[in-house]
Structure 1
Amino acid sequence: MSLPLIPPMLATPGTLPPTAQDARWAYETKQDGQRAVIYLEGDGSLLVRARSGEDITAAYPELRPLGGALGTTPAVLDGEILALDEEGRADFQLLQSRMGLAHAPARAARMAAQTPVHLVLFDVLHLAGSSLLKVPYSRRRGQLEGLGLRGPFWSTPSALVGHGAQALAATREHGLEGLVCKRLDSVYEPGVRSRAWIKIRNMRSEDVIVGGWLPGKGRLTGLPGAVLVGQYAARRLRYVGGVGTGWSEAERAHLAELLRASETDTCPFDPAPRVPGAHWVLPRLVGEVRYSVRTRSGMLRQPSWLRLRPDLTPQDASADLPEDI
């Protein structure tokens, strides 16, 4: 390949820029997908590399026509591969059925027909033989949008300059993952987690019931490494996931005492989840967790522990879950 390999620039978790600096930033929707750098050689070929550098081109055959979208102009593009649900929102669970198929092209082709992906492009790093890494974001954005890259399986959504608070509120209103704030004068820093890009993830919180735990390892030996939690639905305690982060050492030690006092040989979840090595407890402890989204089957994605809720009874932790969870 004649084009330079460029690892993607990464955003730093944070909050909205100060109001006085709002006009110096652009705002893009944070997508829940697989980050990818796209290489167009200008000869009709396409190379797609994951954030790790792995060649994942064969996993997404529907993207191949993008190789000829710029004719003979070579380019390196930055973007995110998404699988969209029926409402047009990114669904990471859907995407998981497409990931990992780079070495199974026949299966990838079948899956492409069932669950096609969509590539969202948001930066151009190299164009027509020239590096754009030192060019400010605002100019790179202008050049990217000027390429007119819109097709059946790819698009170039516009970025909003200023109005960050409104943009963030809109992502929350529409149930989107969050917002990425990009400083207009920022250069592209390959492989760097930069403060020039800030990501804000919309998180939700709910009450859950602790029904089990998994032993910790290493420095957590003897303590819970994760708790297994559920919520009541149709009078059954339904398993909604494991939570392994969010405690201080003191909080984890206190939780260990509470769990040991509630041990039982019977799994409280209905149906019982397949969790090797699980220790079950009586479903009496209620806690509050933060998470990003629910999967279609009702599982909590990226959950972290917030606090115990001794003021609540287990019946207070209920949810409207799919019947087939």
Structure 2
Amino acid sequence: MAWPYRRRRAALEDLFTEHTLTAPWALCPSATEADTVNEWLSWSAVGLEGIVFKRLDSRHEPSARGWRKYKVRETQEAIVGAFTGPLTAPRTLLLGRFDKGGRPQYTGRTPTLPQTAGHALAPLLAPAGSERPWTSWTFSAGWGTRRP
């Protein structure tokens, strides 16, 4: 689209206003004032991941990233390869990432999960199958060491 971001954003806001769009539709907040952005950055304690910046005069270019993200905290995506504790309330998660060959590689574990978090995660987990994701690793009882 040839319109600059400023014009695209205004058209989107008009769409929400004219059609009184409500849930499941949501318009992310937008600001150009530094004080507002700094206030948003203070919300990291309640889960804000970061702020996305776009130039007001930028055009949309398919397959090109026209924005930058300032992260309040660093995050990493991981797969859950195993967990400790019962399936109904896991206590820790053993995490990994896929290597270039598509094989899962162990990267670490979570701290002990609060009971509420364990109960919330339980429906998302499944009992172990016949294959272990990290067949070349043996973990100690305390999870403090590992051996290839």
Tell whether the 8 Å contact from 2:50 to 2:72 is kept in structure 1 after alignment: yes
Distance in 2 (CA, whole Å) between partners of 1:165 and 1:152 is 25
Tell whether the 8 Å contact from 1:177 to 1:201 is kept in structure 2 after alignment: yes
RMSD over aligned CA atoms reads 4.1
Tell whether the 8 Å contact from 1:213 to 1:280 is kept in structure 2 after alignment: no
What amino acid is aligned across from residue 47 of structure 2 in structure 1?
A: G
Tell whether the 8 Å contact from 2:31 to 2:37 is kept in structure 1 after alignment: no
Tell whether the 8 Å contact from 1:178 to 1:202 is kept in structure 2 after alignment: yes
Match of 1:281 in 2: 139
Alignment of 1:144 onto 2:144: no
Q: What whole-Å deviation, never above 9, does each CA across 1:206-233 have from its counterpart, x for those lacking one?
A: xxx9979899675xx9xx9323424346
Match of 2:122 in 1: none
Distance in 2 (CA, whole Å) between partners of 1:210 and 1:156 is 34
Distance in 2 (CA, whole Å) between partners of 1:156 and 1:215 is 34
Match of 2:106 in 1: 226
What amino acid is aligned across from residue 281 of structure 1 in structure 2?
A: F
Unpaired runs of 5+ residues, structure 2, are 76-91, 119-126
Distance in 2 (CA, whole Å) between partners of 1:171 and 1:231 is 23
Distance in 1 (CA, whole Å) between partners of 2:23 and 2:43 is 24
1:136 is displaced (CA, Å) by 1.4
Unpaired runs of 5+ residues, structure 1, are 1-132, 239-272, 286-325
Match of 2:85 in 1: none
Match of 2:89 in 1: none
User: Structure 1 residues 145, 174: closer, same or farther in 2, change over 3 A?
Assistant: same
TM-score (norm 2): 0.52
Distance in 2 (CA, whole Å) between partners of 1:153 and 1:213 is 33
1:168 is displaced (CA, Å) by 4.6
Tell whether the 8 Å contact from 1:212 to 1:228 is kept in structure 2 after alignment: yes
Q: What whole-Å deviation, never above 9, does each CA across 1:118-142 have from its counterpart, x for those lacking one?
A: xxxxxxxxxxxxxxx1211112211
Alignment identity in percent? 26
1:158 is displaced (CA, Å) by 3.6
Query: Which has the larger share of strand?
Result: 1
What amino acid is aligned across from residue 181 of structure 1 in structure 2?
A: F
More contact order relative to length (CA 8 Å, sep ≥ 6) = 1
Q: What whole-Å deviation, never above 9, does each CA across 1:9-31 have from its counterpart, x for those lacking one?
A: xxxxxxxxxxxxxxxxxxxxxxx
User: Structure 1 residues 134, 140: closer, same or farther in 2, change over 3 A?
Assistant: same
| Residue from 69, 73, 78 that aligns with 1:199 | 69
Counterparts in 2 of 1:98-247, with a 5 A limit? Answer: 133-147=1-15, 148=17, 149=19, 150-163=21-34, 165-194=37-66, 197-203=67-73, 225-232=105-112
What amino acid is aligned across from residue 109 of structure 2 in structure 1?
A: V
Distance in 1 (CA, whole Å) between partners of 2:96 and 2:26 is 44
Tell whether the 8 Å contact from 2:41 to 2:50 is kept in structure 1 after alignment: no
Equivalent residue pairs, number: 109
Match of 2:87 in 1: none
Tell whether the 8 Å contact from 1:214 to 1:227 is kept in structure 2 after alignment: yes
**Does the residue aligned with 1:160 lie in a helix, a strand or coil?**
coil
User: Structure 1 residues 141, 229: closer, same or farther in 2, change over 3 A?
Assistant: same
**Does the residue aligned with 1:139 lie in a helix, a strand or coil?**
helix
TM-score (norm 1): 0.27
